[in-house]
Amino acid sequence: MQQADQPLAVLPGDNLTVALQTMRLIIERGLKAREIFIDCGLDARMLLLHHMQLSHAELIAAPTHPLTERDADALTELATLRGAGVPVARLVGEAEFWSLPFYLSDDTLVPRPDSELIVEAALSRIGDGATRILDVGTGTGCLPLAILSERPRSTALGVDISQGALTVAERNARRLDVASRFSTCLSDVYDGIPKTDVFDVILSNPPYIMSNVIDGLDTEVRDHDPLVALDGGSDGLDVYRPLIARAALFLLPGGYLIVEIGYDQSSSVSALMREAGFKPELLHDLAGHPRVLIGHKSEPN
């Protein structure tokens, strides 16, 4: 029996149920010391399943399985890191988006559920045809790869200023079996894309946080997501400016520009869209915050 004031640890010989309870306590104790009070049962379960390479069903079927010393130490370590504020996605090296698994690396943002609104917006505007999609700042590739998984005749180009992110996006495309329809290009916004390339849809979830706000972000974001994926410059609009100003050059007539925005950026980004000749349409996320702006390139009469 471990005492409340002793350092907690998963012990060799513990079964999976006991290990899960101990991990939960380790995480909760760590987060509580950082004044975070949340139920950590799900985090503990995800870390245990990942390390033991088990499915939920296998965990339920094998709770008496005794742990080796090596597994016990590894589980203690994972729970301790989670308690110190390392996000679960970083510890397991992947995250779910659009119900699909995406590998991560230090070069990629953890995909956020809010960004699924971009995927929904794109899917509701494209048919089943051979749509060509461009994603600017593709990171893990989560946006175009989710769309390719739903539209078997579509193709996509993912561009990013980070070669490390592109390597992860290509790996994700292979994992999701859509690599033959996905290509990548190292590019500062459109600079690396041949001028003759045109698309039906341009997507982007660019870095949009103002530089002077980064220090005050939640440490799970600030210390674990890459700065280049967060920092949008002094007013948060550094990437939106070229992205929106030059979008029409890379869009086919009738095409769409679909961008994620910060909760307080609908006026500033709408203004950039109007300046570029788009009439912006605003979508809200489930919390009711402005989240996505859509510009439609009109067809010639």
Ligand X SMILES: C[S@@+](CC[C@H](N)C(=O)[O-])C[C@H]1O[C@@H](n2cnc3c(N)ncnc32)[C@H](O)[C@@H]1O
Pick from 8, 160, 250, 258 the residue near ligand X by CB under 6 A.
160
Q: Does 207 bind ligand X (CB under 6 A)?
A: yes
Q: Pick from 172, 96, 101, 87: which is nearest to 135 by CA?
A: 172
The tokens describing 43, both together, are 């985090």
> Does 116 contact ligand X by CB under 6 A?
no
**Binds ligand X by CB under 6 A, chosen from 30, 83, 87, 137:** 137
- Give CA–CA dist 145/162, Å, rounded: 18
Which of 9, 79, 165, 293 is close enough to bind ligand X by CB under 6 A?
165
Q: How far is the CB of 135 from ligand X (least distance, A)?
A: 6
d(CA 224, CA 218): 10
Output the smallest distance, CB 102 to ligand X, in A. Answer: 8
Q: Which of 22, 131, 205, 265 binds ligand X (CB under 6 A)?
A: 205
Q: Does position 142 bind ligand X by CB under 6 A?
A: yes
Interacting span for ligand X (CB under 6 A) from 37-45, 153-161, 174-182, 288-296: 153-161
131 contributes a contact to ligand X by CB under 6 A: no
- Residue from 136, 156, 157, 173 in contact with ligand X (CB under 6 A): 136
Beta strand pairing call for 132-136 and 199-204: parallel
| Site membership for ligand X, residue 239 (CB under 6 A) | yes
C-alpha separations of 137 from 10, 16, 157, 286 in Å: 41, 41, 11, 24
Task: Give the integer Cα–Cα distance in Å for 225 and 205.
Answer: 14
For ligand X, the closer CB: 80 or 154 = 154
Is residue 129 a contact partner of residue 153, using CB atoms and an 8 Å limit? yes
* Inter-residue contact 104 to 93 (CB < 8 Å): yes
Of the two residues 14 and 260, which places its CB atom closer to ligand X in the complex? 260
In Å, what is the CA distance from 258 to each residue of 118, 243, 296?
A: 7, 11, 9
Residue nearest to ligand X (CB): 137
Count other Cβ atoms within 10 Å, centred on residue 168. 23
188 binds ligand X (CB under 6 A): yes
**Given the complex with ligand X, which of 136 and 272 has the nearer CB atom?**
136
Quick check: 144 binds ligand X (CB under 6 A)? no
Cα separation, 232 vs 244, in Å, equals: 14
Among 109, 117, 133, 272, binds ligand X (CB under 6 A): 109
Binding site for ligand X (CB under 6 A): 109, 111, 115, 136-140, 142-143, 159-162, 165, 187-189, 205-207, 228-229, 239
